[in-house]
């Protein structure tokens, strides 16, 4: 089983008055088959964690390690991370002019599997995955992210997740801006992927509401650049009732 290990991760960004430390020693282990929810107030550093694992150039790792089965993820190119089995939803936030969803997905699958999926079976796979997400078939011919609504972007993320079947998936705020129906469809997609037992998911969110539809194996409270508390699904219920106040005394970020 593949294991993502984050050890004592410290990350800085270049701010106007010099480098500013955002992550202050994050420790986390995610195994294939497990669903982890990271929850925390806005500004606590959750996206910074996601971008750092994705290899975004704006974030400087000042110390600590991120490994996938012992391999140093931080030394991998973005493509190598994908081929190693990591899916980082924020990796492709931009519009890709002239590239359809269908071609984009096939190119991604080719990069990850090492060979192009057979066209005929691939078309069926895409169609079936889109049906499960109740997506209009015409969506496959749209250009990636061009004019996508918030909900379409999130569904596209889950479509990628279902088709690319990564070992470890990191979904940042995949629930924000969704109406109830879209939220449920997205959650069902995450649950289907979890049901395969082959994907470890790190679900990063500010809101507790998606956890009405997804029961994580582990919940971590993120505050001030590190994990402040870890527990099971019951921790999400506590957060829903009590909010983050207990974790944010003296400010959100540091």
Residue 216: half-sphere exposure toward Cβ, Cα within 13 Å: 29
Q: What does the chain come to in residues?
A: 254
Report whether 38 contacts 220 (CB < 8 A): yes
Report whether 202 contacts 170 (CB < 8 A): yes
Q: Say how far apart CA 235 and CA 245 lie, in whole Å.
A: 14
Q: Which is nearer to ligand ADP, 16 or 75 (CB)?
A: 16
Q: Say how far apart CA 236 and CA 254 lie, in whole Å.
A: 23
Q: Which member of 42, 72, 107, 128 binds ligand ADP (CB under 6 A)? A: 42
* 249 binds, options Mg ion, ligand ADP, none, Cβ within 5 to 8 A by partner type: none
227 binds ligand ADP (CB under 6 A): no
62 binds ligand ADP (CB under 6 A): no
Q: Which is nearer to ligand ADP, 35 or 48 (CB)?
A: 48
15 binds ligand ADP (CB under 6 A): yes
Q: Which is nearer to ligand ADP, 43 or 85 (CB)?
A: 43
Q: Which is nearer to ligand ADP, 58 or 249 (CB)?
A: 58
The SS3 of residue 197 is coil
Report whether 167 contacts 86 (CB < 8 A): yes
Pick the piece of the chain touching ligand ADP (CB under 6 A) from 37-45, 73-81, 195-203, 210-218: 37-45
Cα distance between the two ends of the chain: 36
216 binds ligand ADP (CB under 6 A): no
45 binds ligand ADP (CB under 6 A): yes
Q: Which member of 9, 26, 30, 47 binds ligand ADP (CB under 6 A)? A: 47
Q: Which member of 43, 55, 85, 189 binds ligand ADP (CB under 6 A)? A: 43
Q: Say how far apart CA 42 and CA 97 lie, in whole Å.
A: 32
Smallest separation (angstroms) from ligand ADP to the CB of 43: 4
Nearest to 85 by CA among 232, 201, 217: 201
Report whether 6 contacts 66 (CB < 8 A): yes
C-alpha separations of 169 from 85, 87, 143, 161 in Å:
8, 5, 23, 8
253 binds ligand ADP (CB under 6 A): yes
Q: Which is nearer to ligand ADP, 216 or 225 (CB)?
A: 225
The SS3 of residue 140 is helix
220 binds ligand ADP (CB under 6 A): no
Smallest separation (angstroms) from ligand ADP to the CB of 124: 37
22 binds ligand ADP (CB under 6 A): yes
48 binds ligand ADP (CB under 6 A): yes
55 binds ligand ADP (CB under 6 A): no
Structure tokens at 229: 């508390």
Which residues of this protein are in contact with ligand ADP, per CB under 6 A?
13, 15, 22, 40, 42-48, 58, 253
């Amino acid at each position: 089983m593949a294991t993502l290990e984050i050890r004592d991760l410290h990350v800085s960004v270049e701010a106007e008055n010099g480098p500013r430390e955002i992550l202050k020693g994050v420790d986390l282990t995610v195994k294939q088959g497990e669903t982890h929810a990271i929850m925390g107030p806005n500004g606590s550093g959750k996206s910074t964690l996601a971008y750092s694992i994705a290899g975004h150039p704006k974030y400087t790792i000042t110390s600590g390690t991120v490994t996938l089965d012992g391999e140093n993820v931080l030394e991998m190119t973005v493509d190598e991370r994908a081929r190693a089995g990591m899916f980082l939803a924020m990796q492709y936030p931009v519009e890709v002019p002239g590239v359809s969803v269908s071609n984009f997905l096939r190119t991604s699958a080719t990069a990850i599997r090492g060979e192009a999926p057979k066209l005929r079976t691939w078309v069926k796979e895409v169609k079936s995955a889109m049906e499960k997400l109740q997506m209009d078939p015409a969506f496959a011919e749209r250009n990636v992210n061009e004019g996508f609504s918030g909900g379409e972007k999130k569904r596209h993320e889950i479509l990628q997740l279902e088709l690319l079947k990564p070992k470890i998936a990191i979904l940042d705020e995949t629930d924000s801006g969704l109406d109830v129906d879209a939220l449920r469809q997205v959650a069902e997609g995450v649950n289907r992927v979890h049901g395969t037992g082959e994907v470890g998911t790190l679900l990063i969110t500010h809101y507790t509401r998606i956890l009405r539809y997804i029961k994580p194996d582990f919940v971590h409270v993120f505050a001030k650049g590190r994990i402040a508390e870890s527990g099971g699904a019951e921790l999400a219920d506590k957060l829903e009732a009590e909010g983050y106040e207990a974790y944010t005394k003296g400010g959100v970020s540091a």
